[in-house]
Amino acid sequence: MNPVARWLLPLAWLLTGTAYAQEADQVLVVPLEGESKVRMRHSMDMQGMIMNANKDVLPSNCEKISGDVNITVRAGRKYAKKFNGKTFAYDQQQWAMQPCSRVTVRFINDDPIRHQFMIHGLPEYLYPPTGMFMIELTGPGEKTATFILYKEPKTYLVHCELTQHMESGMKAQLKVGGGDGDLPSVPGLTPAEKPDIYPMDWTWKAAVVFVIAVIVGLILIVVISLVLRRAEALN
């Protein structure tokens, strides 16, 4: 396959949404402007796959790697038990890192089902076709892979893309350089964009409190009007 075709394949995937063929551990060489070249690695075996691991190619706006960060991320049903109404979660929900950090993720799946550590919003020319880095585990086990962060302060979405896993709690945020805000519905951290409506516990006690509050409101109006009249009379 010639280099141009190799470069076009991810684009074809983006446009058509169809999977494209590629050997495991095959290194793709993507020509960039000038002399620099980007090497991407998609590897797959019976334990899972890694997409867009990158140990050594710097984003264009990073002069050098600011430092190495190693994180261990665990995924599983048990990490959701502390969050009411959630089913799956990571053991952490937030990370803070310096721009241009080289991040090595040791991803451990504690469940016998599939989970992913997927991060979106990375530069697309380095993490084609959509700026995604991912570690997927088909079942219990672990994989380790590395990627390099961009310079701009940004909050990145980290999630598992199996249907309803993010919605069920497997969602976290990675803040680079302080981030650019918070993502919604990160378990234990931020409220949902579209919160659920729960039944209210309307007891007699609550009803009495409400009625008393209403009476207080009425009395307040009377008091205020009396005070105003008195003030008027004094003037």
Partner 1 sequence: MTITKMLIIVSSIGALVWAAISLFSSVTGQVGVEIPPTLAVLSDLPKAEKLCGIKSNKWRVKREIDGVLVSASTRCIPDNPWEVAAFVKGTNNVSMQTLMSTRLASDAVIKENDRDGDGDPDVIHIRLEVAELNGSSPDGELFLPTYEIAPGVTPGLWVFAPKTRGMAAINLYSYAAIPELRAPSPVIRVEQGDSVMITLENTHYFPHTIHLHGVDHPYLDAQGRGNDGVPLTAEHPVMPGETRTYSLKPRQTGTMFYHCHVQTDKHLMMGLQGMFVVEENRPNNWLQTMNIGAGLVRHSSVAVKESFDLEYDLHYQNIDKELNSSIQSANDPRLIAKQMNRVYDMTDATADYFLLNGHSFPFTLRDSLIVADPDQHIKLRIVNGQSEVLALHTHGHKATITHYDGIEIPQAAQITRDVVMLGPAQRADLNLSTTDDGLHSYGPGVWLFHNHAEKGITTDGRGPGGDISLIVYRSFLEADGMPKLQGVDIARFIEPEYYAGDRSVWGRSSAAQLLGEAALVQPGLIWLIAFGVVVGLILGLLLWLLAGNKALGADR
Q: Residues 159, 64: contact at Cβ < 8 Å?
A: no
Q: Is 203 in the site for partner 1 (CB under 8 A)?
A: no
Q: Is 123 in the site for partner 1 (CB under 8 A)?
A: no
Q: Residues 183, 172: contact at Cβ < 8 Å?
A: no
We find the least distance from the C-beta atom of residue 44 to partner 1, in angstroms, to be 6
We find the least distance from the C-beta atom of residue 61 to partner 1, in angstroms, to be 22
Q: Is 46 in the site for partner 1 (CB under 8 A)?
A: yes
Q: Is 201 in the site for partner 1 (CB under 8 A)?
A: no
Which residue lies nearer to partner 1 by CB, 87 or 104? 87
Sign of CA dihedral 79, 160, 197, 213: positive
Which among 171, 32, 175 is positioned nearest to 101, based on CA atoms?
175
Q: Is 5 in the site for partner 1 (CB under 8 A)?
A: no
- Name the helix (H) or strand (E) containing 106: strand 101-109
Q: Is 52 in the site for partner 1 (CB under 8 A)?
A: no
Q: Residues 93, 73: contact at Cβ < 8 Å?
A: no
Q: Is 142 in the site for partner 1 (CB under 8 A)?
A: no
Q: Is 85 in the site for partner 1 (CB under 8 A)?
A: yes
We find the least distance from the C-beta atom of residue 232 to partner 1, in angstroms, to be 29
Q: Is 30 in the site for partner 1 (CB under 8 A)?
A: no
Q: Residues 146, 60: contact at Cβ < 8 Å?
A: no
What residues have CB less than 8 Å from 140, skipping those under 6 apart? 109, 110, 111, 112
Question: Residue type at 57?
Answer: V
Binding site for partner 1 (CB under 8 A): 13-14, 17-24, 42, 44-46, 48-49, 51, 76-77, 84-85, 87-88, 111-114, 118, 120, 129-132, 134, 136, 138-139, 161-165, 167-168, 184-185, 192-198
